[in-house]
A and B are shown apart, each in its own frame.
Chain A
Amino acid sequence: SAVISQKPSRDICQRGTSLTIQCQVDSQVTMMFWYRQQPGQSLTLIATANQGSEATYESGFVIDKFPISRPNLTFSTLTVSNMSPEDSSIYLCSVERTGGGTQYFGPGTRLLVL
């Protein structure tokens, strides 16, 4: 497994603003992912964070709304842009050491948009 941290752990934001969430891993990993979990729902993959190139987004998610960076093999950020109350969710990053293996999750960021 890996030690994964996320910052912030929670935040309350006003609509129309943006929030950047950081994900830090204690060792190099091959794959990093960002998920959204809306209240009472299961997890939905937002995108795969690719090191040194643009993220790969899933259907229904776009770069303008969820820009992602991954400057190296241990760090990634997800920005939730121009937030609305519908963006209130838990955002989780996950990592894999090798492709196709087990994903390990960070502690999550609880976001409430007013």
Chain B
Amino acid sequence: AQKITQTQPGMFVQEKEAVTLDCTYDTSDPSYGLFWYKQPSSGEMIFLIYQGSYDQQNATEGRYSLNFQKARKSANLVISASQLGDSAMYFCAMREGRRNNDMRFGAGTRLTVKP
């Protein structure tokens, strides 16, 4: 069963505006972690932000913030003040349990920032 769902295959945003990339997940494990990665055309996977299931506050890292709505099982990534260099694929991922090796990735969203 699909555990991570990213419903937006592609998104466009104007430079300097904010954009939200959607991610929903499915798990019955009370302990889990949620991750967002950026993949530019070069192919590398760049870690952006992490949210633990027990974290009380939404995670933030510079221009990245994670809108964590536990009851709705959503973990949307918000990028503020978009830059041209933000154009890339963005993947949401989840790991269940504290020592489970299996990190499951969503299908990804391709973000294009327009000048």
Contact = CB atoms under 8 A, between A and B. Distances in A.
A103 interface: yes
Nearest to A43: B105
Given A42-B106, A42-B108, A100-B95, A48 B47 contact: no
B98 A100 contact: yes
Interface string B92-105: 00010111111101
B45 A105 contact: yes
Interface string A45-74: 100100000001010000000000000000
A33 to B, nearest CB: 7
Contact of A108 (B44, B91, B105): B44
Contact of A105 (B37, B100, B102): B37
Nearest to B44: A107
Interface string B24-51: 0000000001010100001111110010
Contacts of B19: none
27 contacts: A1-B47, A31-B101, A33-B101, A33-B103, A41-B107, A42-B91, A42-B105, A42-B106, A43-B45, A43-B91, A45-B101, A48-B101, A90-B43, A92-B43, A94-B45, A99-B98, A100-B33, A100-B100, A102-B35, A102-B50, A103-B103, A105-B47, A106-B44, A107-B44, A108-B44, A108-B45, A110-B43
